[in-house]
Structure 1
Amino acid sequence: MWMQKQLHLSAKPRGFHLITDEILQQLPDLNKFRLGLAHIFLQHTSASLSINENADVRRDLESYFSRAVPENQTYFRHILEGADDMPAHIKSVLLGCSLTIPICDGKLALGIWQGIYLCEHRNQAGMRSILITINGD
């Protein structure tokens, strides 16, 4: 059985945001899958997805990536949308725009301390869209 659904995530400020619950609220049919795979694809190039600890590692992650890919570098040419534009694209390349998560007994089979993060790399981004494709039975 296959299912595909586009979900919309509320606009968030720059940073790392746990979105597991926001995704699950928009996937009531997930419980129809006994086992399978959920592929989550972020349809944007200036944000990314990650799985990490569902506790407070967000500030440390944001601090690291802001330092690793700083704004206002003279060698950036893609800056028409602001100083955060090119760094956001680089961070997206580093972290990636998709995740594949197993489904077990109608639930995402995340580890006990794992959560899904939207890694928002723009200072003022809008709503983000993700496409979720589920295959299973």
Structure 2
Amino acid sequence: MRFHCESLTIPTSAPIQIIDVTERVRDLLKANPIRNGHLILASSHTTAFVALNERETMLQQDMLDFLARVAPPGAGYRHDRDPVDGRPNAHSHLIGLFMNASEIIPVADGELMLGGWQSVFFIELDGPREARKLRIQIAGED
């Protein structure tokens, strides 16, 4: 079994943002000799996550609206009184309790084995940020 590790740098431009990274992940996979195995995506952050879901404009807006309602900013959270990085972002951490920091996608014949409606999303909950990191590990055989 072979392993390959890489990172994607993702700038974000909004407080809560859903970014489709499917094609970037596919491009990394195509440039790799591993043809069969699995691909692991892992966010390096406590306020940014990875999800597999449907890419449809109205649904994505529904997702953004839902996330903003789950834990609205400025609701008197204790963490916001003295945040370690100067960002009052307790709401971002709380929303993150319902999200995944990583996803595993099977790979067969050099292709991501996603469902017909699935896309890979990087979800920012505490933006904007200049450079978020999405770690990618590909494991398998040529």
Contact 2:13 2:127 in 1 (8 A): no
Q: 1:15 aligns with which of 17, 25, 29?
A: 17
Which residues of 2 match residues 1-137 of structure 1 at below 5 A? 1-13=2-14, 14-30=16-32, 32-56=33-57, 57-74=59-76, 76-79=77-80, 80=83, 81-83=86-88, 85-137=89-141
Q: Structure 1-normalised TM-score?
A: 0.87
Query: Share of identical aligned residues, percent?
Result: 23
Q: Name whichever structure is richer in strand by fraction.
A: 1
Matched residues, number: 134
Aligned residue identity for 1:135: A
Unaligned segments of structure 2, at least 5 residues: none
Cα distance in 2 for residues equivalent to 1:77 and 1:39: 34
Q: Report the aligned-residue RMSD.
A: 1.7
Unaligned segments of structure 1, at least 5 residues: none
Divergent runs of 4+, >4 A: none
Aligned residue identity for 1:105: D
1:54 to 1:103, Cα distance in 2 relative to 1, 3 A: same
Cα distance in 2 for residues equivalent to 1:21 and 1:127: 19
Q: Structure 2-normalised TM-score?
A: 0.84
